[in-house]
Amino acid sequence: MLFNKNQATLRRKMVQNQIEARGIHTPKILAAMRKVERHLFVRPQHLNLAYKDGPLPIDYDQTISQPYIVALMTDLLELTPTSKVLEIGTGCGYQTAILAELAKVVYSVEIIPALAKRAKARLEALNYRNVHLKKGNGRYGWQEYAPYDAVLAAAAPKTVPTQLVQQLAVRGKMVIPVGDSEQNLLLIRKEFQNGKRSTPSIAATEVTPVSFVPMTGDPN
């Protein structure tokens, strides 16, 4: 089936049936998911699947995440118009675009040069001027612009990388899939204990089982 001209309708149905129906009701998240055209980020042969309920393959054995998971991870970060976000794993740039709709600035790291180049061109063509991309190993973050109010990882390490925790601002939140054959999505918070300005503590909450590509460069 060729992709038709009803993409706006398909996006509205995607949000209603896949996202709102699963309990995400934050208006700005729903608005961003309705606005960003997911079909522009998928392979041409997958245009008819762009708004279906599931991930899709992109090149280099990577994926574009399921719409619900994109919305869930973004919602957990509780972004504001002043938020500075670090994204690990730009991929095709879809999640990046969603973040850019909600945050002041997004710094995104992609380890595969060809994907980084394509995502940069795509996001620039869509006029996302608050996104900065670089090619690199995401497990080391992007120290130059730390600390970040929010960190989102779209690849799963076996354990949470220390560098990402260090680059998270106090009172910041990180959403990251963690695990090997079995993965869980974690929400990590960095807070001062009892409100006192001492060494901040880290609290991690398991959100839901997930399945992401492994984070490149994971130690054995």
pLDDT (tens digit, 9 = 90+) per residue, 3-46?
455 899 999 999 999 999 999 999 999 999 999 999 999 999 99
Task: Answer whether residue 96 is part of any domain.
Answer: yes
Stated as kind and residue range, the H or E segment containing 69 is: helix 67-77
Cis-peptide into 200, omega within 30 deg = no
Task: Answer whether residue 13 is part of any domain.
Answer: no
Specify the pLDDT at position 216. Answer: 78
Task: Answer whether residue 103 is part of any domain.
Answer: yes
How many domains is the chain built from? Answer: 1
Residues β-bridged to residue 188: 174, 204
Which pair of tokens denotes residue 104? 């002041």
Task: Answer whether residue 44 is part of any domain.
Answer: no
Residue 80, domain extent: 57-210
CATH number of the domain residue 94 falls in: 3.40.50.150
The answer to whether residues 192 and 218 touch, using CB atoms and an 8 Å cutoff, is no
The answer to whether residues 109 and 142 touch, using CB atoms and an 8 Å cutoff, is yes
How many residues make up the chain in this entry? 220
The number of CA neighbours under 13 Å toward the Cβ of 218 is 14
How far does CA 124 lie from the centroid of its chain? 18
- Measured distance between the N- and C-terminal CA atoms of the chain, rounded to whole angstroms: 44
Task: Answer whether residue 32 is part of any domain.
Answer: no
211 is a catalytic site residue: no
Specify the pLDDT at position 2. Answer: 40
Q: How confident is the model at residue 192 (pLDDT cuts 50, 70, 90)?
A: confident
Specify the pLDDT at position 200. Answer: 84
- Residue 219 pLDDT exceeds 90: no
Task: Answer whether residue 65 is part of any domain.
Answer: yes
What's the mean pLDDT in 193-210? 83
Specify the pLDDT at position 3. Answer: 47
Q: 9 burial class (0-12, 13-18, 19+ CB within 10 angstroms)?
A: exposed
Give the integer Cα–Cα distance in Å for 24 and 29.
8
Which among 65, 108, 181, 198 is annotated as catalytic? Answer: 65
Task: Answer whether residue 26 is part of any domain.
Answer: no
Task: Answer whether residue 102 is part of any domain.
Answer: yes
Compute the mean pLDDT over every residue in the chain, rounded to the nearest whole number.
93
